[in-house]
Amino acid sequence: MIKLSANLSKKVPMPDVEFSSQSYSAGIEMEVGSAATHGDIREELRKLYALLEEAIDEQVGGIAGESGKHGSAVDGKEGPPSHPRQGIGRRPATEAQVRAIQAIARERGHSDENLRELIASRFGSGEPSELSVAEASSLIDTLKGDGKE
């Protein structure tokens, strides 16, 4: 068996306090079969890190919600998230990632509707722009790796 271990930490500035932040971290371990390929291991690690990022973002969002504050430690923007899935500290997919997803999907024969269905089935949203950086990266790898899913 191969043991995978993933740890993630985030520092979030404290509202209305200069030069101060709160730190959040999470870790997870899992085992994969010894016959796992390099690609299998990379995909499992991507999933683990995406899970950790979501868990930390939920925790940060819950604490921010309790204090009535909104904002993002990652992008520094004030105000509520631009999209319901874009929680506090959750980095949205970059424009380059969104364009890459659309281009690769077209190249692989996916219609716009098929792409939205694929995204919704894997991530719960329907548009590439609603994905996080980690989710977009995972989707790009999937689209490149095996074409239609």
- Where are the chain's structural domains? 1-90, 92-149
Predicted confidence (pLDDT) at residue 134 exceeds the cutoff of 50: yes
**DSSP summary character for residue 91:** P
Query: How far is residue 92's CA from residue 119's CA, in Å, rounded to a whole number?
Result: 14
Query: How far is residue 115's CA from residue 131's CA, in Å, rounded to a whole number?
Result: 13
Please report where in the chains the tokens 């995978």 appear, as a residue. 4
**DSSP summary character for residue 128:** G
| Average pLDDT of every residue of the chain | 77
- pLDDT at res. 37: 92
Phi, psi of 77 (to 5 degrees): -80, 145
pTM above 0.85, yes or no: no
- pLDDT at res. 78: 37
